Structure 1
Amino acid sequence: MPTLASQSKIVITGAAGLVGQNLLLLLREKGYRNMVAIDRHAENLAIAVKLNPDLQTLCADLAEAGEWQQCFAGAEAVIQLHAQITALHDDAFERNNIAATQQVLAACRQHQVPYLLHVSSSVLHSAADDAYTRTKRAQENLVKQSGISHCILRPTLMFGWFDPKHFGWLSRFMERTPIFPIPGDGKFIRQPLYNRDFCRVLLACLESSREGLAYDIVGKEDVDYIAIIKAIKEIKALRTIILRIPFGFFDVLLQLAAKIMRQPPFTSAQLHALAAGDYFVGVDIEQEFGVTPTPFLQAINETFTHPVYSKIVVKR
């Protein structure tokens, strides 16, 4: 892959989500000006354009072959971010993690894109057996078998600006309710990864053209789920009461919520994944990529107190 320049064309799929919005800001900060952002959510693309006025965008369903594939012509690199993370039905995972990836890879081959940077997930090492985990494994295999020069990054749970789920949803829920329920004792180990740190790793990987490698990118600090909740509560100065609920009863409540909500923010499958006891080991990002991890409490503070970005949330 040639050395990237400020006008090198970079195509980003799933560009208007949590990682994409943060990555676009970082790319602009570093002087890149020829990015093409593809996403199926028009509202989220509008946010990206507002924050990056000269950004080229394309609203498209990647699971369907179409004119969007022509924008890969002349690209120096493709960053593949699109993913279905939560859904009530398995076909959504098949469509957006498998079919969409097949179409993106076809476009890369058609236009002879020299380099693909694929964002996978730490769930590949998980004990969980659900549609998300299965389709992310299959998605990564598609990339490995594509014949395209590539590198793979597998991040753990991420948080940061623009978050419609995870920590972002937790904070907004705490703002709206006097009582915040916690499953069991809440002492589920998390390894949260600050999105800005991950985007810095992405950029370092892109600029060094690492090829044929896969890196597990893990948050440096181990933090209990309940400690995360307490940290958010403190930073946002909320008075919400944290209430522990028996795990089984909490699961029943989630199953009931799934029957009445079109897009529940947290599902029974995710609850069981939370309690699966997974612990991931990743590379030292400072040694490997020159990225110094942001301390967890500092990252949480930046996430929820930035005067501009903390107020913007992408749609789910």
Structure 2
Amino acid sequence: MTKIIVTGAAGLVGQNVIARLKGEPGITIVGIDKHPANTALLRRLHPQVEVIEADLAVEGPWMDVFAGADAVLLNQAQIGGLEEEEFVANNVTATQLIVSAMRRHAVPYFVHISSSVVNSKADDFYTRTKTTQERFIDTVTDIAHVVLRPTLMFGWFDRKHLGWLRRFMDRTPVFPIPGNGNFIRQPLYVGDFASIIVSSLRSRKTGTFDISGLEQIPYGDLIRLIHRTVKPRAKIVHIPYRLFWWLLFVYGKFSANPPFTTNQLEALVIPETFPVIDWPAIFGVTATPLGDAIRETYLDARYSSIVLDF
């Protein structure tokens, strides 16, 4: 029996990996996460998986669970928040303690989930702590591991990005697209990323790999693809960029929690492309065509309606 420990088990990547890994014969999964609501959801969805609710940035009994583990998916992350201490705790301190637990119990292999932001020029709490995290992982030469740097993902359990946009289509009669919508996106399907992780756990792949979507698509076409798939109430309309910006600016003056901001609009219209490696060949997995991935994400009877708590 192979024992695999998944940290950050109740988040986007963890939930998707466990959903695909749990049916594999001869595998025992232990999931660890500190988010109460999402951890409860993980238990409900997968009662055969041992789920531990614990703060990985604090030493505790959770470290003993690593005894007898064959591999670890090191996946916990602080993505959003206002306090730097949260990012340091979850992205740096927790990682150091997990590696300590792996060393204590002689775990032979792990998959580390880094981020494409370590290659960027951004300077924020997330980028700084993920960069520090990966630099620390690079010093762990006594345990075999692979480092995966994904771009932004969509798929089952997605609570942000495309998931938020899809849900917004059900809440409004009009879905606005700024300008002509011809700003490129390169979405990565989390189902494919989960397959890469499972392949790495099987083959004990080592090295560092940047993982991005294989298909580029204009934002407007991506929205229309989602719209055709889910058939929501909203009608798609194009709004001139400057008008859209001023509408958001004025709305933001009267709303304490606007659904979309001028800063987000400015980021939206920047083309988003990434270098592509042949990850299907490298990891022996099949890439899901974008249209199929959208259908799997939003029409799956088991998971498409489930949204993680923030």
With normalisation by structure 1, the TM-score equals 0.87
Indicate how the Cα distance of structure 1 residues 97 and 161 shifts in structure 2: closer, same or farther if over 3 A, else same: same
**Deviations 1:63-106 (CA, angstroms, capped at 9, x unpaired):** 22222111111111110111122223433322221222122222
Structure 1 range deviating more: 181-190 or 19-28: 181-190
1:285 corresponds to which letter in structure 2?
Answer: W
**Residues 79-94 of structure 1: pairs in structure 2 closer than 5 A:** 79-94=73-88
Partner Cα separation in structure 1 for residue 57 and residue 250 of structure 2: 33
Deviations 1:207-256 (A, max 9, x none): 11122x00111111012222222222221112424453437547757976
Q: Following the alignment from structure 2 to structure 1, what is the Cα–Cα distance between the partners of residues 260 and 94?
A: 24
2:204 equivalent to 1:188 = no
Residue 116, structure 1, aligned to residue 110, structure 2? yes
Tell me, in whole angstroms, the C-alpha distance in 1 between the residues paired with 2:43 and 2:23. Answer: 15
- Matches of 1:265 and 1:81 in 2, distance apart? 28
Which secondary structure does the structure 2 equivalent of 1:29 belong to?
coil
Q: Does 1:48 align with 2:42?
A: yes
State the shift of 1:268 in Å: 7.1
Aligned to 1:164: 159
- Distance between the aligned counterparts of 1:137 and 1:157, measured in 2? 16
Match of 1:260 among 243, 256, 280: 256
Secondary structure, in 3 states, of the residue corresponding to 1:279? coil
Shift of 1:277: 4.2
The residue number in structure 2 matching 1:4 is none
Q: What is aligned with 2:203?
A: 208
The question of whether the paired residues in 2 share the 8 Å contact of 1:215 and 1:282 is answered with no
Change (3 A) 1:238 1:201: same
RMSD: 2.6
In 1: Cα distance, 2:264 partner to 2:157 partner: 21
Contact map agreement 1:194 1:299 (CA 8 A) in 2: yes
Aligned with 1:57: secondary structure? strand
Cα distance in 2, alignment partners of residues 69 and 267 from structure 1: 42
Specify which of 227, 231, 239 is matched with residue 237 of structure 1.
Answer: 231
CA gap 1:181/1:88 in 2 versus in 1, 3 angstroms: farther
Cα separation, partners in 2 of 1:250 and 1:144, compared to 1, 3 Å: farther
| Aligned counterparts of 1:69 and 1:270: Cα–Cα separation in 2 | 39
Instruction: Give the Cα separation in 2 of the matches to 1:183 and 1:174.
Output: 15
So what's the TM-score if we normalise by structure 2? 0.88
Which position in structure 2 is the counterpart of 1:311?
Answer: 305
Query: How far off its partner does 1:118 sit?
Result: 0.4
Number of equivalent positions? 306
How big is the shift at 1:14? 0.4
Contact 2:22 2:29 in 1 (8 A): no
Q: Supply the AA of the counterpart residue of 1:123.
A: V
Point out where structure 2 has 5 or more consecutive residues left out of the alignment.
none
Pick the aligned partner of 2:3 from 9, 12, 20.
9
Cα distance change, pair 95–276 in 1 and its aligned pair in 2 (3 A)? farther
Cα shift at 1:204: 0.9
The Cα shift of 1:30 comes to: 2.3
What is the rounded CA distance, in whole Å, between the counterparts of 2:4 and 2:288 in structure 1? 27
SS in 2 for 1:65: coil
Amino acid at match of 1:45: T
Q: CA shift at 1:270, angstroms? A: 6.0
Q: CA deviation at 1:115?
A: 1.0
Query: How far off is 1:116 after superposition?
Result: 1.4
The whole-number CA distance in structure 1 between the counterparts of 2:202 and 2:105 is 21
SS at match of 2:22: helix
Q: Any idea what SS the aligned residue of 1:180 has?
A: strand
Question: Is the Cα–Cα contact under 8 Å of residues 130 and 269 in structure 1 kept in the other structure?
Answer: no
Aligned to 2:172: 177
Distance 1:143 1:269, change over 3 A: farther
Q: Secondary structure at the match of 1:164?
A: coil
Identity %: 45
Task: Kindly provide the amino acid, as one letter, of the partner of residue 75 in structure 2.
Answer: L
Q: Secondary structure at the match of 2:2?
A: coil
Q: Does 1:65 align with 2:59?
A: yes
**Cα offset for 1:276?**
5.1
